[in-house]
Chains A and B, each alone.
Chain A
Amino acid sequence: MSVRDKIAPEAPASAYDMGHAAEIEHLATFAVLVDNEPGVLHRVVGLFAARGYNIESLTVAETDPGARTSRITIVTRGTPHVLSQIEAQLKKMVSARHVQDVTRDPNGVERELALVKVRVVGAQRVEAKMVADIFRASIVDTTTGGFIFEITGATSKIDKFVGLMRPLGLIEVSRTGVLSIERGAEAV
């Protein structure tokens, strides 16, 4: 899926009806390098809330204590027009040092980590363990009643793993949200 697939926008009747209804919505992942200061996450989240953009997932942590910068990875959804507005609005923030549309970048790598708790007994235990092996999930905890698996990968892989665990006795999932970085030896 490419965000570049631009559908000719059907202009709305009024600025109040700017739905760009004919445009197709895409998922997009933005990596935002920000100055790590109080309230900076609120600035980003507030920007999304105030302008009516969706947040599908959000991760944030300080990544360079020396430069006091944090990296925020946001997965959002919108039409090409909305996504380009999101990028422009993020770049406008005084606290933003760098904004990258990872989805549009052919070298973008996206990963997510999940902890998956299943309640399984008897033969189901073997089945769950086998599926986990196929997905290269590791076991971080086990009791007679079940497992906690740790799995890393693209969002779709985790979705599939969770889907397979559901009939076996899935009871709880915790996911980090998407992290991203660019392939190659260049830094943002």
Chain B
Amino acid sequence: MTTETLPKTPADGAQTPQIMTGAEIVVRALLDQGVTDLFGYPGGAVLPIYDALFHEPRLKHVLVRHEQGAGHAAEGYARATGKPGVVLVTSGPGATNTVTAIVDALMDSIPLVVLTGQVPTHLIGTDAFQECDTVGITRSCTKHNFLVKDVNQLARVIHEAFAIATSGRPGPVVIDIPKDVQFASGVYVSPADAKPIHNYHPRVDGDAAAIAEAAALIAGARRPLFYTGGGVINAGPSASASLRRLAALTGAPVTSTLMGLGAFPADDPAWLGMVGMHGAYEANHAMHDCDVMVAVGARFDDRVTGRLDAFSPGSKKIHIDIDPASIGKVVRADVGIVGDAGKVLDALIAAWNRSPAPAAVPERLADWWEQIDRWRARKGFAYRPSSTLIKPQYAIERLYELTKNRDTYITTEVGQHQMWAAQFYRVQEPNRWMTSGGLGTMGYGLPAAVGVQIAHPDSLVIDIAGDASVQMTIQEMSTALQYDLPIKIFILNNEWMGMVRQWQQLLHGERYSHSYSSSLPDFVKLAEAYGGVGLRTDKPDELDDLILEMIDTPRPVIFDCRVERAENCLPMIPSGKAHNDMILGEDATDMSSVIDAAGRRLV
């Protein structure tokens, strides 16, 4: 034991060092970090921690059916609450099964603390049963990770893990705890007394000069645009409120990445819709033609920028991000501001209010808004309605209309349904939209819905799913039943891996190689087999009634919504094209000619 691990004796001198087992330290540290829920799966190398949980009513443990589900559930929980998600799994396969969710959290900047059991210290390196090099495997896919070999460091490490996961650009932190450390007795230190191991102090306040420069640029702009991302959501609801204030002050339109949906209300007249490959026509054209782009907590992902040499060629770019490595990584920033999105937006508002009043918004931006209205008039999201088949877009529109006045949270899987959900489900508030953006993990939505429903037991939680994605983590239905979580799994069932089918149609000569979902389960019977409720329709005129029935069912529901099978997700910026080169639904007759050989090479 080193002296620095001993808690400082408080001034009143009342406390003596608290000695407990490693397993008890874990539980106590989680409680002191304000954790109320954790997601996990027991196994040999974490049994002491599970034993300590047995007598701890303040920590609710949610037993998943696969460790990947624990990770995604924790992500959903974190995204919907702003609190870190906590995962507890065993060594070896328990740890490796969480890796997909850990990478997902890293890509989308979701704060997670993942506790993994490890074989006893003296067996590490011997290829023991259920041993794997967890810290080695997760080193490149975590924000940071720890192997704790000394029980006296355990509390300190856990407290630091929470600090790292939640500060700066949030991300996943893994703590690997050998079984003998869980059994050993050591000193517990509280968060207040724990001396940090690392000197980690990410910058949160933006540089004042850069903020003044940015404010002046925005004030002088004739065609300004806010391009916002998941960083605004991560900065907390107050950052979303600040974004709304600043957008109103400046009169500028707002677009957002997939991860940023909800930071700005979709009903606001200044909202242009999502940007990017399947984004709104008006949003992409505005990105291309703007003269000042204000990127807030967004990272110029390739799904957003499209062709880089034609990306917003005439604009000055202001890039606000808490991660200095994101600024200038893909697109050069004229003004880079490192800081927390909320704090920088507040500083921009203050700078705007201090500066001499710029010309009144209506006249300064009149031409810009006229142009935007012309783009809007093209109705980029238009689709051909049908009275006999359910169009997937129609299904989402109806789902939105019938749930918009309720306390609703949406999760998605990955693919066509995800893009249609982003286009047609009009998210109004932050933390209401949970999706796998960066990694694009099929199977994210169902366990994420479990996590959201744990955090918000009385809310309506809907996983907008595809028939292929949902089968990747379908076993978490069992978790939903066990904990009475009335999640709704709304499957847009087109019997295809729809996005794969679409790309094969557009780019690979309609050779539909292994993308048809043969042998789909009967989703209604599957729901019933799990103890839930199954609903199905393929008739547009039955849709509303069944959606309402789904909403009113106080149990887990799988809704098998049979939709038009060959529908493509449009509009689309084809690979290798610019923002002002979108294919609209109406042009989509000969799509294979739209993408050239160079575009075909791209992902």
Contacts and interface: CB of A to CB of B under 8 A. Distances in A.
Given A15-B330, A94-B144, A95-B198, A88 B325 contact: yes
Contact of B135 (A13, A39, A89, A91): A39
Given A43-B139, A50-B140, A97-B199, A13 B307 contact: yes
B143, B144, B199, most chain A CB atoms within 10 A: B199
Interface string B282-326: 000000000000000000001001011101000000000001110
A45 B164 CA distance: 21
Contacts of A92: 323-325
Nearest to A49: B140
B332 interface: yes
Contacts of B309: 10-13
Contacts of B135: 39
A39 B328 CA distance: 29
A48 to B, nearest CB: 11
Given A85-B325, A92-B325, A13 B305 contact: no
A94 B198 CA distance: 7
A39 B601 CA distance: 37
B209 interface: no
A42 B133 CA distance: 13
Given A14-B307, A14-B576, A46-B140, A9 B332 contact: yes
B332 A15 contact: no
Interface in A85-106: 85, 88-89, 91-92, 94-95, 97
A84 B327 CA distance: 10
Interface string B327-354: 1111010000000000000000000000
A13 B143 CA distance: 31
Given A39-B139, A94-B143, A11 B325 contact: no
A187 interface: no
Task: Give chain B's interface residue range (CB within 8 Å of chain A).
Answer: 20 to 34
A188 interface: no
A11 B308 CA distance: 7
B147 interface: yes
B478 to A, nearest CB: 36
B192 interface: no
Nearest to A12: B308
Contacts, number: 67
Nearest to B302: A15
A164 B343 CA distance: 60
Given A11-B308, A39-B139, A18 B200 contact: no
A81 B164 CA distance: 28
A52 interface: no
Interface string A36-59: 011100110011001000000000
Given A39-B136, A97-B199, A13 B308 contact: yes
A89 B143 CA distance: 12
Interface in B119-157: 135-136, 139-140, 143-144, 147
Interface in B549-590: 575-576
A26 to B, nearest CB: 17
Nearest to A33: B199
Contacts of A47: 140
A92 B309 CA distance: 28
Interface in B1-31: none
Nearest to A98: B199
Contacts of A38: 147
Contact of B302 (A9, A16, A43, A89): A16
A14 B144 contact: no
A42 B145 CA distance: 12
A97 B144 CA distance: 14
A91 B326 CA distance: 12
Nearest to B199: A97
B600 to A, nearest CB: 12
B574 to A, nearest CB: 12
A91 B332 CA distance: 19
A18 B308 contact: yes
Interface of B: 135-136, 139-140, 143-144, 147, 164, 197-200, 302, 305, 307-309, 311, 323-325, 327-330, 332, 575-576, 598, 601-603
26 contacts: A11-B308, A11-B309, A11-B311, A13-B576, A14-B302, A14-B575, A14-B576, A15-B302, A15-B308, A18-B308, A18-B330, A35-B197, A35-B199, A39-B136, A42-B136, A42-B139, A46-B139, A47-B140, A85-B329, A88-B325, A88-B327, A91-B324, A91-B325, A92-B324, A92-B325, A97-B199
Interface of A: 9-16, 18, 35, 37-39, 42-43, 46-47, 50, 81, 84-85, 88-89, 91-92, 94-95, 97
